Amino acid sequence: MNKAFVKESEDAEDDEAPESQLPAGTRNYMTRRGHAALRAEFEQLVKVERPAIVQVVSWAAGNGDRSENGDYIYGKKRLREIDRRIRFLTKRLETAVVVDPAEQQNRDQVFFAATVTVCDAEGDEVTYQIVGIDEANASEGRISWISPLARALIKAREGDTVRFDSPGGLRELDIVEVRYE
């Protein structure tokens, strides 16, 4: 069958993975660091990677038979991936609302970009920063503002106890410290 009539992959039409989609009607909040990281990735793709792949594909196309030309086939596939990522980043950067934690007025409550130290029932202290969905990385202590934990922490103060549903069941955490860095 001709490749023109075969869908390359299930998500070929979608620019966003389901886990990175914003809830309907919400803004795309992100910190300055997260915005800078997305901007840097966008610049890298547009100015470095895409031109290099275009050059390889152009060279490979000039070699003749494209049906068995690995450089051409995989180069075109990589170009589609890069273009998809560029479209995604363009949308995210256009709709971004950059929040600077240093400008937070109400510093005793937890809001977006706050760094919060919590203590669980066993006495273990963990520190989280509430960030945008594109910059979340739980292993580094950065949690998305739409996560259940972050939603439970929002508007809480030092000394408060918050309850939230985690995959392991209902949990309680005591807020030890709130700061904005």
- What's the whole-model pTM score? 0.78
Distance CA 117, CA 111 (A): 13
Q: Are residues 130 and 72 in the same domain?
A: no
Distance CA 83, CA 90 (A): 10
**Greater confidence, 69 or 89?**
89
Q: In the predicted model, is pLDDT for residue 1 greater than 50? A: no
> Tokens 């992100």 — which residue?
30
State pLDDT tens for residues 5-57: 445 554 444 455 545 677 776 788 999 999 999 999 999 999 999 999 999 99
> Phi/psi at 128 (nearest 5 deg)?
-125, 150
Q: In the predicted model, is pLDDT for residue 90 greater than 60? A: yes
Return the pLDDT at 26. 74
Read off the tokens for 100: 């600077």
Identify the DSSP state of 19: G
Q: Residue 47 sits in a domain of what CATH number?
A: 1.10.287.180
Domain total in the chain: 2
Average pLDDT over residues 122-137: 92
Distance CA 179, CA 101 (A): 9
Confidence of residue 100 (pLDDT cuts 50, 70, 90): confident
Q: Are residues 113 and 126 in the same domain?
A: yes
